Amino acid sequence: MEAASRIPKTGGLSHPPSSAVLSVDFERFRKALTGYLRPEDIGRIEAAYHFSAAAHAGQTRISGEPYITHPVAVAEILSAWHLDPQALMAALLHDVMEDTGITKEQIATSFGKTTAELVDGVSKLDKIEFQSHQDAQAENFRKMLLAMARDVRVILIKLADRTHNMRTLDCVRQEKRKRIARETLEIYAPIANRLGLNNIYRELQESAFRHLYPLRHAVIDKAVRSARGHRREVVGKILESIKRRLPENGIAAEVYGREKHLYGIYRKMVQRHLSFSQVLDIYGFRVIVKDVPTCYLALGTLHALYKPVPGKFKDYIAIPKANGYQSLHTTLIGPYGTPVEVQIRTAEMHHIAESGVASHWLYKEDDALSELQRKTHNWLQSLLELQNTTGDSAEFLEHVKIDLFPGEVYVFTPKGKIMAMPRGSTAVDFAYAVHTDVGHRCVACRINYELMPLRTELKNGDQVEIITATHPNPNPAWLSYVRSGKARSQIRHFLKNMQQQESAALGEKLLAKGLEEIGVKPASVDTAAWDRMVREAGAKSRREILEDIGLGKRLAAVVARRLVSCEDAAPLDGRSGGGAVVIRGSEGMAVQFGKCCRPIPGDPIVGSIKKGQGLIIHTHDCHSIRKSRRSEPDKWIDVEWDPERGRLFEVRIAVHAQNRRGVLAKVAAAISDAGSNIENVSMDDERGIYTSIYFNVQVGDRIHLARVMRAIRHIPEVVRINRVKTDT
């Protein structure tokens, strides 16, 4: 689609295709169908062709060809996978909704509801206004991927469409050509890989590489051509040796050599910082045998023929890739020290490796496909799950991109089940892969029976056990190291909901104080006043207004006055002002404590609403707020501690003591005996007779802190102790 030049057509459906080229293209496509479709199905496909040709009459591609050549080419690519008539009709019609006046209802009437749904899934959202091209692209991908989750044929049509566009991309202007190539490399090629469509994956990669980096492509292509001549004799010798040795051991096999793709060579050079001359394994061999036991026999024979490179053997038969790919991979040292990669697989594995999920239509009788279909279905369902927890299209696309990057590690559950995780995954990713609820409640993990930090990166073969708490409590810090899209989206979704709940509760407190300050009882504001307020504010609900107050997006005093103007509420008994907002310390993300002064219960405090962050609590004597309190007094509200508090608070203390052996242990013991936990310890770099030790400790209030400091003062080596209120 993207590579086309759309010249508005002047005719309607009454204009049949007239170009001789069109009939040649369609006849070639039609012959490909006769081998696997019934005559009546081919007749329906021919009707779709005429319908599409009439709809696109007068439109041409940038190359000057009639536009109908593009849908025919897309359908021809799909026919190689033996797709069903509905998919082939949708391929022929995939641009009519986007580029002509044809509606989904018209397609459904003429060619059935299924075909219309497929066309709609592939079509773009051109009629929707977006803030930017990136937003439009993100929403298009979101729609396409969700349609794909309902029917995988949508993405097969889209991949065939993109493949033909990449084949004809030379006619497009350079700026657009590079944008399409980058998009193909980042999104479409990985999707093809994820679905096991190896041929399409390699073609899209190579074509995108050529258009995105033409000079690099040309240099590597020239180097490969040169190396081909130098290494032809060596490669031929290895090929003959393999073909001779396998039958000698009673193994019937097809053996052929292959040259690695240019983009694969380029990526290896970039990732490993190699020059072309250092990339030795640019040739590989593929061995096709009859069954799985023979794969392992062939492996042993080849290892006896040439020495294998340690650590380069991979068994994707025992543990298939997520896209269903199965093969044995080994790297051998051939004559003259030349490393060569060999892939060993059965004919069925080869079918799946080349055609992936499309093998469902090509080889319906193969039992091996059921596992591939299950894995594909699970991945498609995970897209729907991402959609449910992600409101923003750009964020949804970000999560999908993360999961599309190649590379996996295989780990085990305590019961021995194998789970494939993206490379770089941590124990938190594993917890969310098991179940969302397990992820939300995880607090610790055992990797290979040893307690390890949750941020530990998993390796192949690890056994992982997740330890959970009773209540869910995801940590925002997890977002800095989780790798999988599912974990990232679920954590963000939970934290967003939690912040909304906490902000609404804080907003209710602040609004009650605002109403009391103008002499109105909060309970006396009735539903009608709230409904009018919500309507005038353009909000969805009362809760949204309260959330905005808690997040500082709306001022409680302004909302209070607007509510009172909406309805005559009952005044308070002779009072013109309300009490302070009560702080328990357990409000969560809606209430934050200033790191500039580290307030704890017992300190006189004051609060400020900061937009997007909620209520920030400072001590009265905090140096960082003095200027703001004088210049903007309206931004500050009275707050006080609730006698019934709900958490421990971190406070920093500086202990100045004689630099003697064992003093640190004595101070730590004193802190522990006083009922406090130590969060962090640090010391001055310069140490003489005396040294300064800084402790971050947890206390309940100022009385508890005084008890801790008194215990430390009793240590003979301690000369001074003080509370540090500012971060240094």
Bridge pairing between strands 605-610 and 677-683:
unpaired
pLDDT, tens digit, for every residue of 589-630?
567 788 888 888 888 888 887 766 667 888 888 888 888 877
| CATH number of the domain to which 700 belongs | 3.30.70.260
Question: Please, what's the largest Cα pairwise distance for the chain?
Answer: 106
Between 56 and 615, where is the model more confident?
A: 56
The answer as to whether 1 is a domain residue is: no
Helices (H), 249-310: 262-272, 292-305
Tokens representing 50 are 């005429």
Query: What separation in angstroms does the CA of 118 have from each of 32, 111, 371?
Result: 22, 11, 25
The answer as to whether 7 is a domain residue is: no
Between 207 and 505, where is the model more confident?
A: 207
Q: Do both 562 and 506 map to the same domain? A: yes
Q: Do both 31 and 179 map to the same domain? A: yes
Q: Do both 28 and 133 map to the same domain? A: yes
Q: Which helix (H) or strand (E) holds 250?
A: none
Q: How far apart are CA 425 and CA 403, in angstroms?
A: 11
Tokens representing 411 are 């780990």
Q: Do both 102 and 51 map to the same domain? A: yes
Split into its structural domains, the chain has a count of: 5
- Residue 310 CB-half CA count within 13 A: 0
Backbone angles phi, psi at 263, to 5 degrees: -65, -35
What average pLDDT does the chain have?
80
Q: Which domain range does residue 304 map to?
A: 215-363
- Select from 298, 330, 363 the last residue of a domain: 363
Q: pTM for the full model?
A: 0.60
The burial class, CB within 10 Å (0-12 / 13-18 / 19+), for 95 is: buried
- Looking up tokens 């056994």, which residue turns up? 463
- In DSSP notation, 139-201 reads HHHHHHHHHHHH-THHHHHHHHHHHHHHHTGGGS-HHHHHHHHHHIIIIIHHHHHHTT-HHHH
Give the active site residue among 25, 76, 95, 99. 99
Find, among 364, 359, 353, 354, the residue nearest to 328 by Cα: 353
How large is the average pLDDT for residues 410-436? 87
| CATH number of the domain to which 262 belongs | 3.30.460.10
Q: Do both 205 and 219 map to the same domain? A: no
Q: How far apart are CA 656 and CA 675, in angstroms?
A: 21
The answer as to whether 291 is a domain residue is: yes
Q: Do both 418 and 397 map to the same domain? A: yes
- Select from 641, 660, 681 the last residue of a domain: 641
**What is residue 7's predicted lDDT score, i.e. its pLDDT?**
36
Q: Do both 541 and 634 map to the same domain? A: yes
Q: Please answer whether residues 251 and 297 qualify as being in contact, where contact means their C-beta atoms are separated by less than 8 angstroms.
A: yes
pLDDT value at 132 more than 80: no
Known active-site residue 161: no
Q: How far apart are CA 457 and CA 479, in angstroms?
A: 14
Q: Do both 159 and 250 map to the same domain? A: no
| CATH number of the domain to which 410 belongs | 3.10.20.30
Backbone angles phi, psi at 409, to 5 degrees: -120, 150
Give the active site residue among 98, 465, 640, 650. 98
Q: How far apart are CA 83 and CA 67, in angstroms?
A: 23
pLDDT, tens digit, for every residue of 320-364?
887 778 899 998 888 777 788 899 999 888 888 887 766 655 555
Return the HEC string of 592-647. Answer: EECCCCCCCCCCCEEEEEECCCEEEEEECCCHHHHHHHHHCHHHEEEEEECCCCCC
Find, among 280, 395, 398, 299, the residue nearest to 346 by Cα: 299
pLDDT, tens digit, for every residue of 151-210?
788 888 989 999 999 999 988 888 889 989 988 888 888 888 878 788 899 999 999 999
Known active-site residue 98: yes
Sheet holding 581-583, edge to edge: 581-583, 636-641, 605-610, 614-619, 591-593
- Select from 161, 190, 211 the last residue of a domain: 211
Q: Do both 334 and 233 map to the same domain? A: yes
pLDDT, tens digit, for every residue of 244-264?
999 999 999 999 887 788 898
pLDDT, tens digit, for every residue of 564-573?
765 444 444 4
Q: How far apart are CA 410 and CA 728, in angstroms?
A: 43
The answer as to whether 15 is a domain residue is: no
The answer as to whether 236 is a domain residue is: yes
| CATH number of the domain to which 39 belongs | 1.10.3210.10
The answer as to whether 6 is a domain residue is: no
Query: What separation in angstroms does the CA of 22 have from each of 28, 33, 58?
Result: 10, 17, 13
First to last CA, the chain: 58
Among 81-90, 127-136, 468-477, the range with the most confident prediction by mean pLDDT is 81-90
Q: How far apart are CA 639 and CA 608, in angstroms?
A: 9
Q: Do both 219 and 204 map to the same domain? A: no
pLDDT, tens digit, for every residue of 462-502?
899 999 988 888 888 888 888 887 888 888 888 777 777 77
**What is residue 4's predicted lDDT score, i.e. its pLDDT?**
42
Q: How far apart are CA 142 and CA 397, in angstroms?
A: 7
pLDDT value at 121 more than 70: yes
**What is residue 387's predicted lDDT score, i.e. its pLDDT?**
63
The answer as to whether 84 is a domain residue is: yes
The answer as to whether 2 is a domain residue is: no
Q: Do both 359 and 443 map to the same domain? A: no
Q: Do both 503 and 554 map to the same domain? A: yes
